[in-house]
Structure formats: structure tokens, C-alpha cells
Amino acid sequence: MAHLTPEQEAIKACFIRERGYWRPWTEVILAQHPQFLQAYANYAGYPARTGSLSARMVELVYVALDASSTHLYGPGLKTHLAKAFEAGASPADILGVLHCVAVQGLSSVYQGLNILAEEAGLDSVPADAAWPDGLAAHLATLPVALCEQLRVVGRFDPGYVRVVLEFIALDTPGAGLSPYERHLIHIALHACFTGFNPDALRTEIRTTLQEGGAVADIVQVIQLGAHLSVHGTALGAAALSDHSGLPMGTGTAGVPPG
């Protein structure tokens, strides 16, 4: 847009301040519906602006959500990866987040095999007795909710339980996420609409609260996932521009999409 009104200039500045980027799709919305951008900036920026978590942790949550196989939004991942480092994150933090992302799919195995156990009449059959090398004793040291899930899996394949335990317990090279931060990342992944998993979410919330987690932190990481749906708005704005001949603009040089 060659010429912006004072109102449009103020909205653009607010959007960049709240969201940290400006892109061609926002030019289309600014020209056609500036009030949308203003309201969206206020809404999307609210959790980070008012919540209890550090800027580093907020950006790590965004890295997890954009990298998740339920979203796979590369432009946003690049944006929030850069902002995470600016906020003090380390490569070990990022690797820890990506480990959480890789673990996300296991919850579907737990839930699927639980259904199978019920339908096959195996839900009352104890699994521990046949497990080799003290695996049952190892399970007893885990959070109760996770232990219950793995016992279900063990009815069918104790060997799988062993490799799962090895994978989820894997250490990240260097000082990375704390156990509490990992719980918050898992909550964000299971709460986000792109991969909403109420059973896994309940398990993570229960475990986090039992270990002394703060309700305010949990509220914030749940809120952070909602406005990722604007990525659909960005796609639609580009299609609208193509269809109607509206100028997309060039965005702000050097600022990646988010």
C-alpha cells in the first residue's frame, strides 16, 4: 500500500508490535478490513502480553506448535525459532522441544490399544507378570497417569514399552528444557486445535498439577495455540488477492512470516 491513513499506520504498528512480523497478506487485510487486524493483534498478543510465562517459553511453545506434525507451518516455525533465540533459548532448548514434538504421536497408541483391550476383553488382564527384567518395577517409578497408559500397551507388547521408555527418557545434549517446561510443551501440543487430544491433554494436565505446576501457566499455554488458525486467514487473503486483483504488497523486508 503506497499511502496509509493515520489509522492504518497505527494499526500496522500495533500489529508488528504484538505479533513481530508484517507480511503481504496483512497488507490485503489492512486495505480491506483494518479493524480485523487491530482486533486480531489484540487477541493474538494477549496471552504473551499478560501471561506468567517468559518470552523464551512463549516462543518455545510456538516452535512446538508450528513444528508439530499436526500443523507443519514452516514460515511460522522460522519466525518463532529466531525469536526464541532472541529471548535467550539455546539449541538444547530447541532440541528438547523437537523431542516433545516427536513424542506427541504416542498418545494415539495408548488410546488405540486401550480401545482394543476393552473390545477384546483384555482390559482386566494384568500385564506386569510377563514383563522381563524388572520392567514393572521401572513403571512404578513413573507418574501414575503415564504408568497406567504403558500398562495398557504392555498387555500387547512389553518390548514396545521398553523402547518407548528409552525414547521418552532420552536426554538432550546440553542443558535444555526442565521437566516442568516439557510438561507445558506437551500440554500446548495436545490442547491446540490442530491436534486436539482431550485424553492426552487430561493426562498431562493431571500430571503437571500433581507435580506442583501453576494453573496460570497451563492456562497460558492452552491459549497460545488458538490463534494459529490465522494461517488459514493468510491463505485466504492470498487467494482473495489473486481472485480480485487486490495488491498483496511486499511486506516488511527482513521480517519472516509468523
Tens of pLDDT, residue by residue over 129-179, are 456 566 777 777 777 777 878 888 888 888 898 888 889 888 778 789 999
Tens of pLDDT, residue by residue over 67-113, are 999 999 998 899 999 999 999 999 999 999 999 999 999 999 999 99
Residue at 152 is within a domain:
yes
What is residue 253's predicted lDDT score, i.e. its pLDDT? 32
146 lies in the same domain as 238: no
Q: The domain containing residue 19 runs over which residues?
A: 1-52+229-258
What is residue 142's predicted lDDT score, i.e. its pLDDT? 74
Residue at 111 is within a domain:
yes
> Does residue 127 carry a pLDDT above 60?
no
**How far is it, in rounded angstroms, from Cα 110 to Cα 116?**
10
What is residue 169's predicted lDDT score, i.e. its pLDDT? 83
The domain total for the chain is 2
**pTM score of the predicted model:** 0.87
Residue at 172 is within a domain:
yes
With pLDDT > 90 as the criterion, what percentage of the chain qualifies?
Answer: 62
> Does residue 254 carry a pLDDT above 70?
no
Residue at 218 is within a domain:
no
What CATH number corresponds to the domain at position 144?
A: 1.20.1290.10
143 lies in the same domain as 60: yes
C-alpha cell at 188: 500446548
133 lies in the same domain as 117: yes
165 lies in the same domain as 41: no
133 lies in the same domain as 116: yes
**How far is it, in rounded angstroms, from Cα 4 to Cα 46?**
26
